[in-house]
Amino acid sequence: MYKNKKVVVVLPAYNAAQTLEKTYNEIPFDLVDEVILCDDCSRDNTAELARQLGIQHVIVHEKNKGYGGNQKTLYNKALEIGADIVIMLHPDYQYTPKLIPSMVNIIGDDLYPCVLGSRILGMGALKGGMPMYKYIANRFLTFSQNLLINYKLSEYHTGYRSFSREVLETINFNANDDDFVFDNEMLSQIVYAKFDIGEVTCPTKYFKEASSINFKRSMKYGMGVLRVSFQHFFCKMGLMKLARYKRLK
């Protein structure tokens, strides 16, 4: 608990058996109340290992629902068990769990209702081994998004995110895509709903066991990001209406 607010960490897992234990062991359980892992039909023993580690809530998709579909399951479960602060942490150990206290403090003290762990602030991405083509694409897409969405973030593509309960109950994240572009749709919704977003500098690690998408899927993701940004712009201008931008409360 943090100031009587329940803190829940959610882990979107897919073939994460090699890195799950290391990630889990660094979670600060003096602050985190519960952990939810959703195994998106892994081919390894991710779910079995999660139960052995004592993770309270282990959900298994019998059919792969995609990265976005995995997050939908996790956020709905987090709200169901009464989470006030939700931290989305990848179990592939690409992002350090040691930043959880900082992210919780920012939300718990009502400074920002959403906090991102940015790999770009402090040049953490390149130091951590991000491929140059991905870094250049990140900078181009972020520049375009800042213009079209009319917001200012160092990056929109980090997988390390935290949200207040109010944010998750307000935006219609269940209307989003089930693939990787889900992350960008969610940030677009948050900005559209006029929630402020904070960022903290986050070191990152690129290594063999860390999850990553190939060049072809990266191109699909990049096109999806631009589509979301233009849709956001057109909706704000009153030229388009999309159900995902409707506030739920």
What are the two backbone dihedrals, phi and then psi, of residue 145, each rounded to the nearest 5 degrees?
-65, -40
Cα 208-199-143 angle, rounded to 5 deg: 80
Residues 6+ apart with CB under 8 A from 49: 17, 20, 21
* SS3 of residue 220 by DSSP: helix
8 A C-beta contact, residue 40 and residue 28: no
58-76 burial, b at 16+ Cβ within 10 Å, e below that, comes to bbebeeebbbbbbbbbbbe
pLDDT at 135 (0 to 100): 87
- pLDDT at position 204, please? 80
- Decide if 177 contacts 161 (C-beta within 8 A): no
pLDDT at 215: 72
Tokens of 169: 């109950």
Q: Could you give the C-alpha distances from 219 to 153, 173, 227, in angstroms and in order?
A: 21, 23, 12
> Cα(69)–Cα(40) distance, rounded to whole angstroms?
9
Reading the block at residue 248, the tokens are 């739920």
CA distances from 172 to 76, 181, 244, 248, 249 (A): 11, 15, 5, 6, 10
Beta-bridged to residue 95, according to DSSP, are 204
pLDDT single digits (tens) 122-175: 766 777 777 788 889 999 999 999 999 999 999 999 999 999 999 999 999 999
Token pair of 124, please? 């953490």
Cβ-contact 92, 12 below 8 angstroms? no
From first to last of its 249 residues, the chain has per-residue pLDDT tens of: 999 999 999 999 999 999 999 999 999 999 999 999 999 999 999 999 999 999 999 999 999 999 999 999 999 999 999 999 999 999 999 999 999 999 999 999 999 999 999 989 876 677 777 778 888 999 999 999 999 999 999 999 999 999 999 999 999 999 999 999 999 999 999 999 999 999 999 988 776 655 566 777 888 999 999 999 999 999 999 999 999 999 998
Q: Which amino acid is at 99?
A: L
Domain borders along the chain are: 7-245
Other C-beta atoms lying within 10 Å of the C-beta of residue 137? 17
Number of residues written out for the chain: 249
| 53 vs 67: CA distance, rounded Å | 23
Residue 92 sits at the vertex; the CA angle it makes with 165 and 176, to the nearest 5 degrees, is 45
Q: May I ask the CATH architecture of the domain 7-245? A: Alpha-Beta Complex (3.90)
